[in-house]
Chain A
């Protein structure tokens, strides 16, 4: 079975600083994908970044990057130069042959001006 764990219910960061959100997962599959989704107060689910398990290179999207440690089953999200608009709930998710996204419980990120 797939599981996703986010151990940080809340995090806070100063504007322009860097913050890292943690995520660990468990799967018996060899072929899987990992995602970070952002859910702002509007409740819209927005895809932030995607990582294919077979790729060793960490994914990067502008100010967002991941640290994918396959052996440790860890998939953390780093947000650089944090902006007020980054304040949101962030969900880590995995996807494998079961054809469904398994979500963690989320990390609520506050950005302090």
Chain B
């Protein structure tokens, strides 16, 4: 158990819908990262927050957004969902900006 929690574990929804994935980092970790793992794209970095502020952005679609709240938990919002958004979404956390990242168990999103 990495100490990073993610909810829900599984999510099944339809095209065009919007979903919110939630992540709670390890106690004391200020950085939260979101990654997408799909069969065709592999593991890709989406976005990073550090103590509430966005610090780095990857290939995140405009339909996707995220935020980190004062209690340091983070949410990833995915809207206007498409079949291709089906993937495993990981949250990871670290103490600072250059420390090892510990991954949550992931949220499996299926878009039908």
Contact = CB atoms under 8 A, between A and B. Distances in A.
Interface of A: 33, 35, 37, 42-47, 50, 91, 95, 98-103, 105-106
A47 B48 contact: no
Contacts of A91: 43
Contacts of B55: 99
Nearest to B50: A99
Contact of B101 (A98, A101, A102, A105): A101
Contact of A43 (B45, B88, B101, B102): B88
Given A43-B106, A44-B106, A45-B103, A100 B58 contact: yes
The B interface is mostly helix, strand or loop, or mixed, namely: strand
The A interface is mostly helix, strand or loop, or mixed, namely: strand
A33 B98 CA distance: 8
A86 B55 CA distance: 34
Interface of B: 2, 33, 35, 42-45, 48, 55-56, 58, 88, 90, 92, 97-98, 100-103, 105-106, 108
24 contacts: A35-B100, A43-B88, A43-B105, A43-B106, A44-B103, A44-B106, A45-B90, A45-B103, A46-B2, A46-B103, A47-B100, A47-B102, A47-B103, A99-B48, A99-B56, A99-B97, A100-B33, A100-B56, A100-B58, A101-B33, A101-B45, A101-B92, A105-B42, A106-B42
